[in-house]
Amino acid sequence: MNSVESQVMVILGARPREARHLLAILQEIQAAFRYLPKEALLIVAGALGISAARVFSVAGFYKALSFTPKGERLLTVCQGTACHLRGSGKLIESLQSRLGFKIGQSSSDGRLGLESVNCLGACALAPVATVDGAVHGHLTPEKALELI
Protein backbone atom coordinates (compact mmCIF):
# COMPACT_ATOMS: atom_id res chain seq x y z
CA MET A 1 0.00 0.00 0.00
CA ASN A 2 1.32 3.43 -0.85
CA SER A 3 0.94 6.35 1.52
CA VAL A 4 -2.26 7.77 -0.03
CA GLU A 5 -3.93 4.39 0.13
CA SER A 6 -2.89 3.70 3.71
CA GLN A 7 -4.05 7.10 4.93
CA VAL A 8 -7.39 6.75 3.15
CA MET A 9 -7.87 3.29 4.67
CA VAL A 10 -7.37 4.76 8.15
CA ILE A 11 -9.98 7.45 7.42
CA LEU A 12 -12.41 4.88 6.01
CA GLY A 13 -11.93 2.67 9.05
CA ALA A 14 -13.16 5.35 11.44
CA ARG A 15 -16.84 4.96 10.57
CA PRO A 16 -19.31 2.50 9.10
CA ARG A 17 -18.90 2.11 5.33
CA GLU A 18 -22.14 3.84 4.42
CA ALA A 19 -22.60 6.19 1.50
CA ARG A 20 -24.09 8.83 3.81
CA HIS A 21 -20.65 9.43 5.31
CA LEU A 22 -19.19 10.39 1.93
CA LEU A 23 -18.99 14.13 2.67
CA ALA A 24 -17.40 13.57 6.09
CA ILE A 25 -14.84 11.16 4.58
CA LEU A 26 -13.96 13.60 1.82
CA GLN A 27 -13.50 16.37 4.38
CA GLU A 28 -11.05 14.24 6.32
CA ILE A 29 -9.14 13.43 3.15
CA GLN A 30 -9.06 17.15 2.35
CA ALA A 31 -7.72 17.85 5.83
CA ALA A 32 -5.04 15.16 5.52
CA PHE A 33 -3.74 16.06 2.02
CA ARG A 34 -4.97 19.68 1.65
CA TYR A 35 -6.70 18.46 -1.52
CA LEU A 36 -8.50 15.38 -2.86
CA PRO A 37 -6.09 13.10 -4.75
CA LYS A 38 -7.85 11.30 -7.61
CA GLU A 39 -6.48 8.01 -6.36
CA ALA A 40 -8.10 8.59 -2.96
CA LEU A 41 -11.49 9.29 -4.52
CA LEU A 42 -11.40 6.04 -6.47
CA ILE A 43 -10.57 4.09 -3.31
CA VAL A 44 -13.49 5.76 -1.51
CA ALA A 45 -15.89 4.90 -4.36
CA GLY A 46 -14.85 1.26 -4.22
CA ALA A 47 -15.04 1.06 -0.44
CA LEU A 48 -18.50 2.60 -0.20
CA GLY A 49 -19.81 0.69 -3.21
CA ILE A 50 -20.86 3.80 -5.10
CA SER A 51 -19.89 5.10 -8.53
CA ALA A 52 -16.79 7.20 -9.03
CA ALA A 53 -19.07 9.71 -10.77
CA ARG A 54 -21.02 10.27 -7.56
CA VAL A 55 -17.85 10.73 -5.52
CA PHE A 56 -16.41 13.23 -8.01
CA SER A 57 -19.68 15.08 -8.25
CA VAL A 58 -19.96 15.50 -4.48
CA ALA A 59 -16.27 16.44 -4.34
CA GLY A 60 -16.85 19.14 -6.95
CA PHE A 61 -19.99 20.52 -5.33
CA TYR A 62 -18.79 21.61 -1.91
CA LYS A 63 -16.58 24.64 -1.48
CA ALA A 64 -14.68 23.09 1.43
CA LEU A 65 -13.29 20.45 -0.94
CA SER A 66 -10.66 21.04 -3.58
CA PHE A 67 -9.04 19.10 -6.43
CA THR A 68 -5.88 21.20 -6.24
CA PRO A 69 -3.75 21.62 -3.10
CA LYS A 70 -4.62 24.54 -0.83
CA GLY A 71 -1.83 26.59 0.74
CA GLU A 72 -0.08 25.29 3.86
CA ARG A 73 -1.14 28.43 5.68
CA LEU A 74 -4.47 29.99 4.83
CA LEU A 75 -5.41 33.65 4.97
CA THR A 76 -9.20 33.68 4.78
CA VAL A 77 -10.87 37.05 4.33
CA CYS A 78 -14.48 37.44 5.40
CA GLN A 79 -16.84 38.68 2.71
CA GLY A 80 -19.90 38.96 4.91
CA THR A 81 -22.21 41.95 4.56
CA ALA A 82 -20.85 43.82 7.56
CA CYS A 83 -17.29 43.28 6.33
CA HIS A 84 -18.32 44.37 2.84
CA LEU A 85 -19.78 47.60 4.22
CA ARG A 86 -16.62 48.19 6.20
CA GLY A 87 -14.32 47.69 3.24
CA SER A 88 -13.49 43.99 2.76
CA GLY A 89 -13.68 44.46 -1.02
CA LYS A 90 -10.80 46.92 -1.01
CA LEU A 91 -8.91 44.74 1.45
CA ILE A 92 -9.18 41.76 -0.90
CA GLU A 93 -8.20 43.80 -3.98
CA SER A 94 -5.16 45.13 -2.22
CA LEU A 95 -4.10 41.69 -0.89
CA GLN A 96 -4.51 40.13 -4.32
CA SER A 97 -2.36 42.72 -5.99
CA ARG A 98 0.34 42.66 -3.31
CA LEU A 99 0.51 38.88 -3.06
CA GLY A 100 0.30 38.37 -6.80
CA PHE A 101 -2.39 35.71 -6.73
CA LYS A 102 -6.13 35.65 -6.35
CA ILE A 103 -8.74 34.40 -3.91
CA GLY A 104 -8.88 30.62 -4.16
CA GLN A 105 -5.24 30.39 -5.28
CA SER A 106 -1.94 29.77 -3.53
CA SER A 107 1.54 31.18 -3.76
CA SER A 108 3.77 29.38 -6.26
CA ASP A 109 5.67 27.60 -3.46
CA GLY A 110 2.38 26.37 -1.99
CA ARG A 111 3.13 27.99 1.38
CA LEU A 112 0.29 30.50 1.50
CA GLY A 113 -3.27 30.31 0.23
CA LEU A 114 -5.79 33.15 -0.02
CA GLU A 115 -9.42 32.22 0.58
CA SER A 116 -12.69 33.96 1.27
CA VAL A 117 -15.56 33.01 3.55
CA ASN A 118 -19.15 34.27 3.57
CA CYS A 119 -19.30 35.26 7.22
CA LEU A 120 -17.43 34.48 10.41
CA GLY A 121 -19.94 36.07 12.76
CA ALA A 122 -17.43 38.51 14.20
CA CYS A 123 -19.21 41.39 12.47
CA ALA A 124 -18.48 43.91 15.23
CA LEU A 125 -14.79 43.60 14.38
CA ALA A 126 -15.27 44.02 10.62
CA PRO A 127 -13.39 43.69 8.39
CA VAL A 128 -12.04 40.39 9.67
CA ALA A 129 -9.92 37.54 8.39
CA THR A 130 -8.59 34.30 9.80
CA VAL A 131 -5.06 33.01 9.65
CA ASP A 132 -5.06 29.24 10.12
CA GLY A 133 -8.38 29.50 11.90
CA ALA A 134 -7.57 32.33 14.35
CA VAL A 135 -9.74 35.40 13.83
CA HIS A 136 -8.25 38.88 13.51
CA GLY A 137 -10.38 42.02 13.39
CA HIS A 138 -10.30 45.65 12.19
CA LEU A 139 -7.96 44.70 9.37
CA THR A 140 -6.11 46.84 6.90
CA PRO A 141 -4.00 45.34 4.09
CA GLU A 142 -0.87 46.19 6.12
CA LYS A 143 -2.16 44.45 9.24
CA ALA A 144 -3.24 41.41 7.22
CA LEU A 145 0.18 41.08 5.60
CA GLU A 146 1.87 41.37 8.98
CA LEU A 147 -0.15 38.40 10.21
CA ILE A 148 1.40 36.17 7.59
Pairing verdict, β 73-78 and 112-117: parallel
Alpha carbons within 13 angstroms on the beta-carbon side of residue 37 total 13
- The count of chain residues that interact with another protein, using the rule CB under 8 A, is 42
Q: Say whether residue 147 binds another protein (CB under 8 A).
A: no
Q: Say whether residue 98 binds another protein (CB under 8 A).
A: no
Q: Say whether residue 87 binds another protein (CB under 8 A).
A: yes
End-to-end C-alpha distance for the chain, whole angstroms: 37
Say what angle helices 38-48 and 3-13 make with each other, to 10 degrees. Answer: 40
Q: Say whether residue 71 binds another protein (CB under 8 A).
A: no
Element (H, E) at 61: helix 52-61
Q: Say whether residue 145 binds another protein (CB under 8 A).
A: no
Task: Enumerate residues 28-67 that contact another protein by CB under 8 A.
Answer: 54, 57-58, 61-65
Binding residues for another protein, rule: CB under 8 A, are 18-24, 26-27, 54, 57-58, 61-65, 79-87, 90, 117-126, 128, 133, 135-137
